[in-house]
Structure 1
Amino acid sequence: MEINQLLKTGVDMIKNREYGNPVLEATMVLESLLNVNRIYIYTHGKEKVDKAVEDEFLKIMEKRATGYPIQYILKEKEFMGLNFYIEEGVLIPRPDTEILVEYILKYIDTNYGNREVKLLDLGFGSGAIVLSIAHYKRQVQAFGVDNSDIALKVANINMNKFKLENVKLYRGDLFSGIDEKFHIIVSNPPYIPSEEIKNLQKEVRDFEPVAALDGGEDGLDFYRKIIPQSRKYLKDNGLLIFEIGWDQGKAVSNILLQEDFNNIKILKDLQGLDRVVLGIK
């Protein structure tokens, strides 16, 4: 089958996915299988595709048609200008999380310049947050804790891929095994209320790790755990910063307030919805 014909077949197989981009996704898969770039795909449409590649492409399109995330198929996701390795078992990085990372990068510039900064990421997943910060701010001594073996494996792959020597990753539960104090503690914890999991889009609900999504009855379980404990591990004037759900700004701010945090702020995403909340010890 020719490239153009194969692409059309693939697009037809996945065109009914509600949250997909069938033309782009089919093209990306074929690029990966042929190990060529997009320009090649567009300029060699009449070229015949090897039968083994054709069969593998159609098999992948069948899998994508079930809702299986394209990022798990390609095993990659761009985040903060870095190409992260991704596999099933870790949360797929979202563009909204870049708001959190960008704030931290600016905060380091403003408050610390080129001085050493100690940062802790609780629940690092693929490593998107902690590794992006460590990559762009080499003076940061970054630590990460996650209770998932898959997360530890994936984040270590990314750490090695980006050649980062200023990061230490551990398997553990929140602050377990931590005996240092940090200038910044960051977390993108599970924050979806348990009852809302079933209403998420299929790609998320059926294939991404529920443990990375489910924040308990009202979605706030992990904020209630992390915020009180964090005071022990933050330096004076240390920053505690979270990603939050679209309507959780006030609730998480109130928990920070109850635990005597100051300068509490809520940052909005591009849609004007709550996305990040922060406070200073």
Structure 2
Amino acid sequence: MTLADLHGEARAALARADIADAKLDARLIVEHFSGTSRADAVSRPDMPVDPEKADAVRQAIARRAAGEPVHRILGFREFYGLKFFLTPETLEPRPDTETLVDAVLPFLRQRAAREGGCRILDLGTGTGAIALALLAEVPQAAAVGVDISADALATAARNALENGLSGRFEPVRSDWFEKISGPFHVIVANPPYISSKELETLQREVRNFDPARALDGGADGLDAYRTIAAQANAYLEPAGRVAVEIGYTQKEAVTRLFEAAGFRTLEARKDLAGHDRVLVFEPR
């Protein structure tokens, strides 16, 4: 089988399965499992593909056709220019979450320049994507990544090592603030914010493959925000910041929670689609 044949077969199989991004997903899978590149597809379409590699591509295509997200099949995803390995216990870091990184970077850079360093607490760190993206952008910073999942913490530690950031990243197994000692200049979180009743209505790629514990925010989706708002102030440096990702309908509810807990809203940011996505607070 030639490389062109394999690309065509993969695209057709995903199109038959009504995969929305069939062409892109097919290309990513073929390239990864055949060890080829886009340049090979253009300049060497007639190159033969090893039968074992072609079989690996077909198996991966079958997984995608059954609804498994392409990046879970590949085992990694890029976020903020870094490569993050995934496991079943971690969410995929998605482009909308880069809005959270953008929201706190100017403050972190300012504090690091003024004080010679800064400390970040990433609650529910998962792959470590938020904390590690910030560390890559602010060389004077150090971060603690908190998660209740040992598997997620092992994945975050691996990602820190692979990206050359392990010396400034500390994974800690903790139920939110339970085993944490402050203070921190910035507390960031992309917490579970889907209401329990909405979980079954999510896309199958999310519902069947993302860890439910990282999605389920309780009856109204706000449980994690209540915990963070109630406790964050005790772990902040003076004039520190708390930045959280939110569901696109939750701006007002989350703002009320934090303001009732003694915070002032500094900023609300929208994601790439124009939806409310990030809120930044400081203590009054």
Q: Same fold (TM over 0.5)?
A: yes
Q: Shift of residue 112 of structure 1?
A: 4.2
Displacement of 1:270: 2.8
| Number of the residue aligned with 2:12 | 12
Alignment deviations for residues 77-124 of structure 1 (CA, whole Å, 9 cap, x no partner):
111011211232210011010010011112223444262111100000
Amino acid at match of 1:13: A
RMSD (CA atoms) = 1.5
Alpha-carbon shift at residue 21 of structure 1 (Å): 1.7
2:88 partner letter = E
- Quick check: 2:103–2:280 contact (8 Å CA) kept in 1? no
- 1:173 and 1:42 map into 2 onto residues whose CA distance is 50
Q: Which moved more, 1:77-86 or 1:13-22?
A: 13-22
The verdict on how the C-alpha distance between 1:191 and 1:14 changes in structure 2, with shifts beyond 3 A counting, is same
Tell me how far apart the structure 2 counterparts of residues 205 and 35 of structure 1 sit (CA, whole Å): 30
Which letter does structure 2 place at the counterpart of 1:62?
Answer: A
> Which of 251, 257, 264 is matched with 2:259 structurally?
257
CA contact (8 A) 1:253 1:264 kept: no
Confirm or deny that 1:138 pairs with 2:139. yes
Equivalent residue, structure 1, for 2:57:
57
What secondary structure, in the 3-state scheme, does the structure 2 residue paired with 1:15 have? helix
What's 1:147 paired with?
148
1:210 equivalent in structure 2: 212
Does the 8 Å CA contact 1:123/1:189 hold for their aligned counterparts? yes
Structure 1 residue runs of 5 or longer lacking an equivalent are none
Instruction: Give CA deviations for 1:223-277 in whole Å, capped at 9, x if unaligned.
Output: 0111111111112211011000001111100011101112443211233221011
Structure 2's unaligned 5+ residue stretches are: none
Counterpart AA for 2:131: V
CA contact (8 A) 1:246 1:275 kept: yes
Evaluate the alpha carbon distance shift between residue 8 and residue 40 of structure 1 in structure 2; reply closer, same or farther with a 3 A threshold. same
Other-structure match for 2:22: 22
TM-score by length of 1: 0.95
| Amino acid corresponding to residue 252 of structure 1 in structure 2 | V
Paired residues in the alignment total 281
After superposition, residues 1-281 of structure 1 pair within 5 angstroms as 1-16=1-16, 20-113=20-113, 115-164=116-165, 165-281=167-283
- How much identity, in percent, do the aligned residues show? 36
The 1:19/1:253 distance shift into structure 2, 3 A limit, reads farther
Distance 1:86 1:229 in 2: 29
Q: Distance in 1 between matches of 2:73 and 2:172?
A: 27
1:5-42 Cα deviation digits (max 9, x unpaired): 11111111112555642222222222122323211122
Contact 1:144 1:169 (C-alpha < 8 Å) held by counterparts: yes
